[in-house]
Structure 1
Amino acid sequence: MSANVMRQYMEEIKKRKDLIVYLIQSGLKAEHRNSYLGYFWWLLDPLLGVVVYYFLISVILDRGGENFAVFLVIGLVSWRWTSTVINSSAKSILRYSSIINQVYLPKAIFPVTGTFSQMVNFSFGLVIVALFLVIFGVIPGWQAIYLPIIIIVQLVFLLAISLFLAYVSVFIRDIENLLTHVVRILFYSSPIIWEGGRLPEEYQWVVDINPIAHLVNSYRDVLMYQVSPNFLALSIILAASALFVFSFLYYYSKNEYKIIKAL
C-alpha cells in the first residue's frame, strides 16, 4: 500500500513538469527582478564576496597562502548554493499558500524547484571560478571530470535539506528566524574561508563529520589541487541524502492534508 501511495505521488509530480519548469524560471526572474543590474548579480555577488574576504584575511590579517583567491572563490561559490537553499526553502511552500489552497498540487514541488533554481545560480558562480583559475594560472588536472559527480551529490544533499525545512516551516514559523544563526554557524564551522587542516587536532572532528566541509574540499581537490575527491565521504553523503529525500517525499505523500490545514 505504501509503495502505491509513493508511486502515485511521484506520478502526480511528473504530470506537472511544465509547472516545475515555470516555477524554476519564475524563481530565477523574481530573485533580481527589481535590481538595476538584474541577472548580472549572479556573477557579481560571488565576486564581491571574494574581494571582501580576500581583503580581510590576506591583506589586513596577512594570512591565507598561495592562490588564496582561488581557494576563496571555490569555497564561497559552493557555499552560496547551500546558504541560499537553506534561507529560501523555509518560505518555499508558504510563498505559494494562495495557490495551494485553491488547486491540488504535490507540495514537494515547491522546495524541489527552489533548489534547482539555486543550482542555476551556482552554475553562474562556476563561471567566476573558471575566470579565477585562468587569471591565477591554476590548471585543473584530469580529476576535473569528477566535478559533475560532486554537483549531483550536493544537489541531492540540498534537496533533502529543502524538503525538510519547507515542511517544518509550515508548522513552526519561527524556524525562519533561527536559520540566520544556523547558517552563520555552518559558515564558520566549514572550511569556506579557512583550511580544514589548520584546526587543532581536538577540533578536527568538526570537519570530519561536516558534509558541507567534504563538499567544499571536493571542489577544491578536483579544481585546484589536482587530486581525486574523498569518494567514501561523497558516497556516504549521497546515500544518506537520497534516503532522506525518499523518506521526505513519502512523508509528504502521506501528510499533505496537514499542510493544507496549517496554511
Structure 2
Amino acid sequence: MRVYLKEMLKRKDLLFYLVKSGLKAENRNSYLGYFWWLLDPLLNVAIYYTLMGVLLGRADRVENFAVFLVIGLVGWRWMNTSVNTSAKAIMKYSSIINQVYLPKSLFPIATTFTQTFNFVFGLIIIAIFLLIFGVTPGWQVVYLPFIILVQLLFLLAISLFVSYICVFVRDIDNILSHILRIFFYASPIIWEGGRLLQAEGLQQYAWIFEINPVAIILDSYRAVLMWQTNPQFVGLGVIAFLSIASIFFMLRHYHKNEYKIIKAL
C-alpha cells in the first residue's frame, strides 16, 4: 500500500494533466467556452425556480427561496457530475492503461478534482444570489471550507468505488442515472427537508432523511450561508470519517487488483 501511494505521488504531474485536459475538453467545441461554468448552474436555477417557485408557488413558503434553491442545485451539481464522469474515468483512458503502467485510481480522482474546479464557479453564482437578495452570512461562514472538504472526501470515495465497479459491470453506468435521480428527489435540493418530517404518515421514514449524506451536506451549506447557524458537525464528522476509511480501502483494493482491471479492459 505504501509503495502504491508513493507511485501515485510520482505521477502527480499526470494527475494535474488529467485535470487540466478534463477542464479543456468539457467546453472544447462550444461557442461560449468556459462561460458555461457560470451559465450552466444559472440556467439550472432559472428552470427550477420557474417550476417550483412560480408554477407550484413554493417561493412564498420558503424564505429567500431563490438562494435556498441555488445552494441546493450547485451543491448537487458537483455530486452529480463527479459521479457520472467517474463512472467512465478508467474506461475512457483504456488505450493508455493497456500500454503504460499507471495507478488506475488516478483517473477517478482526476475527474473528481475537475468537477471540484467547476464547483468553485458555482460558488460565484451563490455569492451573486446572496448579494442580490440581501442575504448576509454570519460568522459561521468560516466553516464553509470544512463543509467543502467533507463533500470532496465523500465524492472521492464514491468516485473510486463507482469507477472500479463500472470496469467489470458496464450496466452500472446505465443504472447510475436512475439512482442519482432517486437521490435528487429524496434530498432537500428543490424542497425543504422539514416537509418530510411534518408530512402525515411519513414521520416513520424521517430517519432516512437524517442519515442521508446529501441532505446533511446541503443543509450545512445553507446553515452557514443563509441561516447564520452552525452546520451539522456530527453528521459531517461521520461522513468525513467513513469517506476517509472508504478511500483508503478502495486504494488498497485498487493496488491488489490492478491486473484485473487491465484484463477487464
Q: TM-score, normalised by structure 2?
A: 0.96
| Structure 2 residue aligned with 1:205 | 207
Aligned mates of 1:230, 1:18 — CA distance in 2: 36
Aligned residues of 1:92 and 1:110 also touching (Cα < 8 A): yes
Give the match for residue 245 of structure 1: 247
Match of 1:33 in 2: 28
1:103-137 deviations in Å (ceiling 9; x for gaps): 00000000001100000000000000000000000
For residue 97 of structure 1, what is the aligned residue in structure 2?
94
Conserved in 2, the CA contact under 8 Å of 1:147 and 1:222?
yes
1:87 and 2:84 matched: yes
Counterparts in 2 of 1:1-263, with a 5 A limit? Answer: 6-64=1-59, 65-199=62-196, 200=199, 201-263=203-265
C-alpha deviation, 1:166, in angstroms: 0.5
For structure 1, the 5+ residue unaligned runs are: 1-5
* Percentage identity across paired residues of the two chains: 64
- Per the TM alignment, residue 226 of structure 1 is displaced from its structure 2 partner at its CA by 0.3
Aligned pairs, number: 258
- What is the alpha-carbon distance in structure 1 between the residues aligned to residue 153 and residue 89 of structure 2? 17
1:173-201 deviations in Å (ceiling 9; x for gaps): 11110011011001000000001101122
Q: 2: CA distance between counterparts of 1:137 and 1:225?
A: 13
Contact 1:25 1:117 in 2 (8 A): yes
Letter in 2 for 1:246: F
1: CA distance between counterparts of 2:75 and 2:14? 27
The 2-side partners of 1:113 and 1:123 are apart by: 16
Aligned equivalents of 2:10, 2:216: Cα separation in 1: 36
Q: Supply the AA of the counterpart residue of 1:235.
A: G
CA deviations over 1:204-224 (Å, ceiling 9, x no partner) = 222111001100000000001
Q: How far, CA to CA, are the matches of 1:236 and 1:107 in structure 2?
A: 27
1:10-64 CA-to-partner distances (Å, cap 9, x unmatched) read 0000001111100000011111111111111110111111111111111111113
> In structure 2, the residue corresponding to 1:93 is in which secondary structure?
helix
TM-score when normalising by structure 1: 0.97
Compute the displacement of 1:143 (Å).
Answer: 0.3
Counterpart of 2:30, as a letter, is: S
Question: Aligned equivalents of 1:32 and 1:207: distance in 2?
Answer: 36
Moved more, 90-99 or 52-61: 52-61
* CA RMSD across the alignment: 0.7
- 1:161 deviates by 0.3
In structure 2, distance between residues paired with 1:180 and 1:153 = 23
Are the equivalent residues in 2 in contact too, given 1:111–1:163 (CA < 8 A)? yes
Worse overlay, 58-67 or 224-233: 58-67
- 1: CA distance, partners of 2:207 / 2:46: 30
**SS state of the match for residue 250, structure 1?**
helix
- Structure 1 segments of 4 or more deviating over 4 A? none
Question: Does the CA contact (< 8 Å) of 1:160 and 1:245 recur in 2?
Answer: yes
